[in-house]
């Protein structure tokens, strides 16, 4: 990949740095996974072993899945994150296209507004949103979980930056071929921007799958709980010290994310190699 030749010392050092990072980041996950396999006695044993000495996984996972409707929470998570991502893309792509490729009065002001919105943390608007949803009566519904995130300023910004790199000739060619502006967005820009779209998808899905803050505010009924709320619910519902089932639940919750990421990662690399936009 890189054409720079490094000295052996530098190469060892590089690997050392990377490995330290890997251990630091992967460590908690490994502990989580291993703890989910241990029986209760072993978890509380004074001496820490990474690998379980005796198998307690079956019981932990069964407890996690039966004590609370975890699968139902997973389904909720899937519905909410998919709806958010879909609506985000629906808004992002035309907005980013207009900001990157159309000439109109006030475009720069609009883009500046987008940038300013990037600076607003969503905790800051949580309260006004809560009041708005309360007065419109949609609190405690799927809509209340999805709607606040449909317009992703970050997504608009990311896609706009990517669209800037798409040659104008390509868009003009599409116009000469008879495509409408919407057709250009979905038929030319979207496939061209696949790598950026997938990168954004990873950000969006991870953020909203793991989100605990907003669902906690917006939702009260158990039927609408998202996966992180499910884990918290399990903690309250159980003895609170049942770390085995808790870790099992956490493992179950992140598994779809890991799988989705692995699939997307392959498509991501594919996407990069297939964009032959230059020359």
Partner 1 sequence: MLVETQARGAVRIDGLAKRFGDTTVLDGIDLDIVAGEFVTILGPSGCGKSTLLRIVAGLETETAGSVSIDGAPMKGLAPNARDIAMVFQSYALYPHLTVAENIAVPLRMRQLTPMQRLLGLAPRAVRGSIGAEVQSVAAMLRIESLLPRRPAQLSGGQKQRVALARAMVRRPRVFLMDEPLSNLDAELRVHMRAEIAQLHRQLGATFLYVTHDQVEAMTMSDRVAVIMGGRLQQVASPDVLYRDPDTLAVAQFVGTPRINVLAGGRLGLQAAQVAVRPERLQAHGLGLAPPPQAGQGIEGRLVYRENLGSDLFLHVEVPGVPAALIARADPAAGETFAIGDRLVLAVDPRHVLSFDAAGKRIRP
* Smallest separation (angstroms) from partner 1 to the CB of 277: 5
Whole-number minimum distance, CB 189 to partner 1, in Å?
10
CA nearest to 248, candidates 82, 55, 48: 55
Shortest distance in whole angstroms from residue 83 CB to partner 1: 21
Quick one: 144 or 192, whose CB is closer to partner 1? 192
Closer of 223 and 270 to partner 1 (Cβ): 270
Minimum CB separation from partner 1 for residue 278, in Å?
9
Which CB atom, from 121 or from 276, has the smaller least distance to partner 1? 276
How many other CB atoms sit within 10 Å of the CB of residue 194? 18
Residues found near partner 1 in the complex (CB under 8 A): 167, 169-170, 172-179, 183, 188, 191-192, 194, 273-277, 279
Question: How many of the other CB atoms lie within 10 Å of CB of 207?
Answer: 14
Residue 46 or 279 having the CB closest to partner 1? 279
Compare residues 14 and 107 and give the one whose CB is closer to partner 1.
107
Whether residue 99 contacts residue 107, with contact meaning beta carbons closer than 8 Å, is answered with: yes
Closest approach, Cβ 103 to partner 1, in A, equals 10
Q: Distances from the Cα of 245 to the Cαs of 35, 43, 69, 100, 134, in angstroms?
A: 9, 11, 13, 49, 35
The minimum distance between CB 105 and partner 1, in angstroms, equals: 13
Cα dihedral 240, 243, 245, 250 sign? positive
What CA–CA distances, in Å, run from 148 to 36, 119, 138, 143, 268?
A: 34, 16, 12, 9, 27
Question: For 110, left (φ over 0), alpha (ψ -120 to 50), or beta?
Answer: alpha
Residue 261 beta carbon to partner 1: minimum distance, rounded to whole angstroms? 23
d(C-alpha 134, C-alpha 137), whole Å = 5
118 vs 120: CA distance, rounded Å? 6
When the beta carbons of 128 and 178 are compared against partner 1, the nearer one is 178
User: By C-beta, is 171 or 246 nearer to partner 1?
Assistant: 171
State in angstroms the smallest separation of the CB of 178 from partner 1. Answer: 3
- Which residue, 114 or 184, has its beta carbon nearer to partner 1? 184
Contact 68, 230 (CB under 8 A): yes
With beta carbons less than 8 A apart as the criterion, state whether 218 and 140 touch.
yes
124 DSSP assignment: T
Helix orientation angle between 107-118 and 153-164, rounded to the nearest 10 degrees: 130
């Amino acid at each position: 990949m890189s054409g720079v030749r490094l000295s052996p010392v530098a190469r060892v050092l590089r690997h050392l740095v990377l490995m330290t990072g890997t251990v630091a980041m992967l460590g908690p996950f490994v502990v989580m996974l291993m703890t989910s396999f241990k029986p209760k006695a072993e978890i509380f044993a004074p001496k820490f072993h990474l690998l379980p000495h005796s198998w307690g996984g079956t019981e932990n996972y069964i407890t996690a899945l039966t004590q609370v409707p975890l699968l139902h929470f997973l389904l909720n998570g899937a519905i909410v994150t998919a709806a958010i991502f879909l609506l985000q893309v629906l808004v992002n792509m035309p907005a980013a296209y207009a900001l990157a490729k159309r000439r109109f009065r006030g475009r720069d002001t609009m883009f500046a507004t987008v940038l300013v919105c990037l600076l607003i943390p969503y905790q800051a608007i949580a309260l006004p949103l809560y009041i708005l949803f309360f007065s419109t009566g949609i609190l405690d519904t799927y809509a209340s979980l999805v709607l606040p995130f449909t317009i992703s300023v970050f997504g608009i910004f990311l896609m706009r930056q990517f669209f800037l790199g798409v040659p104008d000739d390509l868009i003009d060619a599409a116009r000469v071929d008879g495509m409408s502006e919407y057709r250009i967005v979905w038929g030319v820009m979207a496939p061209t921007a696949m790598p950026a779209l997938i990168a954004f998808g990873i950000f969006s899905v991870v953020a909203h799958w793991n989100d605990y803050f907003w669902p906690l505010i917006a939702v009260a009924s158990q039927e609408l709980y998202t996966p992180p709320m499910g884990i918290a619910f399990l903690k309250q519902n159980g003895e609170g010290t049942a770390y085995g089932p808790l870790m099992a639940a956490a493992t179950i919750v992140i598994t779809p994310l890991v799988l989705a990421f692995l699939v997307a990662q392959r498509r991501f690399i594919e996407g990069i190699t297939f964009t032959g936009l230059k020359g």
